[in-house]
Amino acid sequence: MSYARQMLDTYPRTVNVDASVLAAAIDAISDCAQACTADTDADLSEQNLAEMVKCIRLCLDCTDICTATGAVISRLAEYDPGATRPLLEACVAICRSCGDECELHAHYEHCRVCEQACRRCEQACRELLDALK
Amino acid sequence: MSYARQMLDTYPRTVNVDASVLAAAIDAISDCAQACTADTDADLSEQNLAEMVKCIRLCLDCTDICTATGAVISRLAEYDPGATRPLLEACVAICRSCGDECELHAHYEHCRVCEQACRRCEQACRELLDALK
Amino acid sequence: MSYARQMLDTYPRTVNVDASVLAAAIDAISDCAQACTADTDADLSEQNLAEMVKCIRLCLDCTDICTATGAVISRLAEYDPGATRPLLEACVAICRSCGDECELHAHYEHCRVCEQACRRCEQACRELLDALK
Amino acid sequence: MSYARQMLDTYPRTVNVDASVLAAAIDAISDCAQACTADTDADLSEQNLAEMVKCIRLCLDCTDICTATGAVISRLAEYDPGATRPLLEACVAICRSCGDECELHAHYEHCRVCEQACRRCEQACRELLDALK
């Protein structure tokens, strides 16, 4: 069981969302933030740098948005929908853009792995948005 | 002149938004992130801790969202509206919630200062959203 | 296999450190950052808030230091020992302090889980420091 | 007066370090984190990308370390020297490395501005380390 799930199961307050959906989103976001950081660095090691610039920029945005989103939804007891919903929508959008760009470079295995992390994160954030309705 | 403005004025690409509006948003976001971090810590030093819990949680969210937003809009050349707009909307929303909560505790000077930082950030992000239309 | 390990195995450059030690550190740091964020929030939900203040502050520091350390060691190809070693030492130190404090509150299950995440992270960072010698 | 200084002046506890030294460090760190984020993006817009890769990597590390350091020293009431001192040393080291690298590219005005932000941050962190002795 992931630490995120263990932390939710020992939380002193009731969280008004399915714990497995929330834990899955936290874990997917955390993995995606790290994968995008690593992919930025891998991209910087490739020969055809000019073709990788867009991928680098999107990976940087994706890491930053995922890091904030993961922290905010880890504190979901005091749920502020006005901020949390658009933040999750931003996370879905950047994961889609970053996943699409990584797919274009999927002949690089690191971009293929990063694409998987982005797709899984996008899906997990969508499911959390649905569960928060 | 702030570093944010200097960096924009020396940027090798054209940024399709008024540099003074963008620099003002970057500076206000950076100040707000720091003020909320400091206010979290100041709140934790007060006697009536139970009354400060909501303020602490909102300050933590505000710092995280401001940090991500400031980074993303510092890389605005590759502007991805699908992610940047909801992110700025999340930033406006959390600054308003956090500013409102700080206002309730404005008898503490640190909350009064933090409220000012949140209000200024909310306004600067609104102006950037308008400028990006 | 974790994303961190997959990203390392597909990295275009040679990383001069055992990939399993590095991946273990990245994963432990990522888990610890999240556990500390969640524990901060759980602490804020307890009745005896005054006794939890030190734990909250240390968890906040631990999250911030882990987040930076995890990002820097995810870009280890351009290893700058002058910055990376003290950063890892700071991470070891805050994980020990935070783990010790959580241990004092281990009657709260969330602090017990957070202590485990801190201990595992401290150990993984020590092993990475040894491997980087 | 900066928000950092105002927050320190309204802090409910006594901070055992000169407030002007601490506020100067917080402000310099915040500026440096933003300048390095902007310089990463500016570097990615240059033609001779291969020559800018080291600068990009160091700027990314510098942003991450500055962000963590700024947050930790904004919560200095519960000063943990075992973590804070090596963290500040890591910040000094990465600002020096990043400033040196930016100096090599100072024909680009954005690197010249970023170098200034790094040098100022390095100096402010050194002064804070001295003041914390």
Is the distance from CB of D61 to CB of D77 less than 8 angstroms? no
Which of B72, B77, B94 is facing A83, going by the closest CB pair? B94
C-alpha span between A100 and A102 (Å, rounded): 6
Residues B67-123: tens digit of each pLDDT: 999 999 999 777 789 999 999 999 999 999 999 999 999 999 999 999 999 999 999
Residues A72, A62, B79, D105, CA torsion sign: positive
Q: Would you give the distance in Å from CA C77 to the centre of its chain?
A: 20
What does the pLDDT read at residue B2? Answer: 94
C-alpha span between B111 and B123 (Å, rounded): 18
Which of A60, A78, A83 is facing B90, going by the closest CB pair? A83
Return the higher-pLDDT residue of D84 and A80: D84
Residue of C nearest to D77 (CA): C57
Residues B16-41: tens digit of each pLDDT: 899 999 999 999 999 999 999 999 99
State the DSSP string of C46-97: SS-HHHHHHHHHHHHHHHHHHHHHHHHHTTGGG--HHHHHHHHHHHHHHHHH
Which residues of A lie inside 8 Å of B (Cβ-Cβ)? 54, 57-58, 60-61, 64-65, 67-69, 71-72, 75, 77-78, 80, 82-84, 86-87, 89-90, 93-94, 96-97
Residues D20-71: tens digit of each pLDDT: 999 999 999 999 999 999 999 999 999 999 999 999 999 999 999 999 999 9
Which among D39, D47, D49 is the top mutation candidate for probing chain A, defined by the most A β-carbons within 10 Å of its own β-carbon?
D49
Residue D120 identity (one-letter amino acid)? R
Is the distance from CB of B59 to CB of B36 less than 8 angstroms? yes
Is the distance from CB of A72 to CB of B64 less than 8 angstroms? yes
What does the pLDDT read at residue C27? Answer: 97
> What does the block give as tokens for B54?
């909501």
Residue D77 has pLDDT above 80, yes or no: no
What does the pLDDT read at residue A64? Answer: 98
Residues of D in contact with A53 (CB under 8 A): 44-45, 49
CB contact (8 A) between residue C110 and residue A12: yes
Residues of C in contact with A26 (CB under 8 A): 34
The residue to which tokens 């409910």 are assigned = D12
Complex prediction ipTM: 0.97
Q: How does pLDDT run along chain A (133 residues), one tens digit per residue?
A: 899 999 999 999 888 899 999 999 999 999 999 999 999 999 999 999 999 999 999 999 999 999 999 999 999 777 789 999 999 999 999 999 999 999 999 999 999 999 999 999 999 999 999 999 7
C-alpha span between C27 and C23 (Å, rounded): 6
Residue D133 has pLDDT above 90, yes or no: no
Q: Reduce the DSSP state of residue A31 to 3 states and report it.
A: helix
The residue to which tokens 């007066």 are assigned = D1
Neighbours of chain B (3+ CB pairs under 8 A): A, C, D
What does the pLDDT read at residue A22? Answer: 96
Which of C64, C69, C97 is facing D82, going by the closest CB pair? C97
What does the pLDDT read at residue B77? Answer: 75
Residue D93 has pLDDT above 80, yes or no: yes
Cβ burial, residue D93 (10 Å; 0-12/13-18/19+): buried
Which of C42, C63, C71 is facing A37, going by the closest CB pair? C71
C-alpha span between C99 and C111 (Å, rounded): 9
Neighbours of chain D (3+ CB pairs under 8 A): A, B, C
Q: Cα-flanking dihedrals φ and ψ of residue C12, to 5°?
A: -70, -15
Considering chain C, what is the average pLDDT of its residues? 96
Question: What b/e string do you get for D45-77 counting C-beta neighbours within 10 Å, with b at 16 or more?
Answer: bbeebeebbbbbbbbbbbbbbbbbbbbbbbbbb
What does the pLDDT read at residue A23? Answer: 97
Residues of C in contact with A39 (CB under 8 A): 7
Which of D61, D75, D86 is facing C80, going by the closest CB pair? D61
DSSP 8-state code for residue A106: T
Question: pLDDT grade, residue D7 (50/70/90)?
Answer: very high
**CA-to-CA separations, C28 to A20, A69, A112, C25, D94, in angstroms, rounded:** 21, 20, 23, 5, 24
C-alpha span between C93 and C122 (Å, rounded): 8
Residues of D in contact with A59 (CB under 8 A): none
Residue C14 has pLDDT above 90, yes or no: no
Residue D124 has pLDDT above 90, yes or no: yes
Question: pLDDT grade, residue C83 (50/70/90)?
Answer: very high
Residues of D in contact with B74 (CB under 8 A): 34, 37-38, 41
Q: What percent of chain D has pLDDT over 70?
A: 100
Is the distance from CB of D119 to CB of D95 less than 8 angstroms? yes
Of B86, B100, B38, B90, residue with least CA distance to B65: B90
Considering chain D, what is the average pLDDT of its residues? 95
Residues of D in contact with C83 (CB under 8 A): 61, 65, 90, 93-94, 97
pTM: 0.98
Other C-beta atoms within 10 Å of D15: how many? 12
